[in-house]
């Protein structure tokens, strides 16, 4: 008999003590990862910094800034071995619900033009491309455009 208990994934506050584990995932999934200080600053600034975990194992994380009537997703990442199982969508939907409860009118994010998987997820939940930021991101060969995507809440 299999006695392994798999509890439902939970979303909780990110703590400074989580950052070392987050960075391991971050470096695995992003070519240009955030630094530990980027996450610590986000926590200290009071951004919505969340961890998605299951049975104390990190599945992913995200950071959202709530501005005047507009929420910005600053980063979202799911550990490589946990991708394509619905966890990114779960975390994104959590942020969308949270932003609605804060009376945000819209949500904005930037995504690399080449990041088709992420853009597909955003389109699936209703984001529309509203602009392009030319040469916004560093890339292996020069710079890369960002697609600016918006969801009306």
Ligand X SMILES: CC(C)(COP(=O)(O)OP(=O)(O)OC[C@H]1O[C@@H](n2cnc3c(N)ncnc32)[C@H](O)[C@@H]1OP(=O)(O)O)[C@@H](O)C(=O)NCCC(=O)NCCS
Binding interface with ligand X (CB under 6 A): 29-30, 76-78, 83-89, 111, 115, 117-118, 120-121, 124
- To which residue do tokens 């602009």 refer? 131
Minimum CB separation of residue 27 from ligand X in Å reads 11
Residue with tokens 């030319």: 134
The pair of structure tokens assigned to 51 is 């961890």
Of the pair 109, 153, the CB lying nearest ligand X is at 109
Task: Measure Cα distances from 147 to 26, 60, 94, 152, 153 in Å.
Answer: 21, 22, 22, 16, 19
Among residues 117, 95, 5, 100, the alpha carbon closest in space to that of 51 is found at 95
Of the pair 3, 38, the CB lying nearest ligand X is at: 38
Q: Is 54 or 115 the residue whose CB approaches ligand X more closely? A: 115
Whether 64 contacts 53, CB under 8 Å: no
What minimum distance in Å lies between the beta carbon of 80 and ligand X?
8
Q: How far is the CB of 76 from ligand X (least distance, A)?
A: 5
Which CB sits closer to ligand X, 19 or 61? 61
């Amino acid at each position: 008999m299999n006695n392994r208990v798999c509890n439902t994934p939970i979303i909780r506050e990110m703590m400074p003590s989580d950052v070392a584990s987050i960075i391991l995932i971050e470096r695995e999934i992003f070519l240009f990862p955030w630094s530990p200080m980027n996450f610590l600053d986000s926590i200290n600034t009071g951004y919505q910094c969340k961890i998605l975990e299951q049975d104390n194992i990190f599945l992913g994380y995200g950071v959202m800034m709530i501005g005047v009537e507009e929420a910005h997703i600053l980063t979202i990442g799911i550990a490589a071995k946990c991708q394509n199982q619905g966890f990114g969508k779960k975390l994104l939907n959590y942020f969308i619900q949270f932003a609605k409860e804060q009376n945000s009118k819209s949500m904005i994010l930037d995504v690399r033009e080449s990041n088709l998987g992420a853009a597909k997820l955003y389109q699936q939940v209703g984001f529309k491309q509203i602009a392009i930021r030319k040469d916004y991101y560093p890339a292996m060969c020069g710079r890369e455009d960002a697609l600016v995507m918006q969801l009306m809440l």
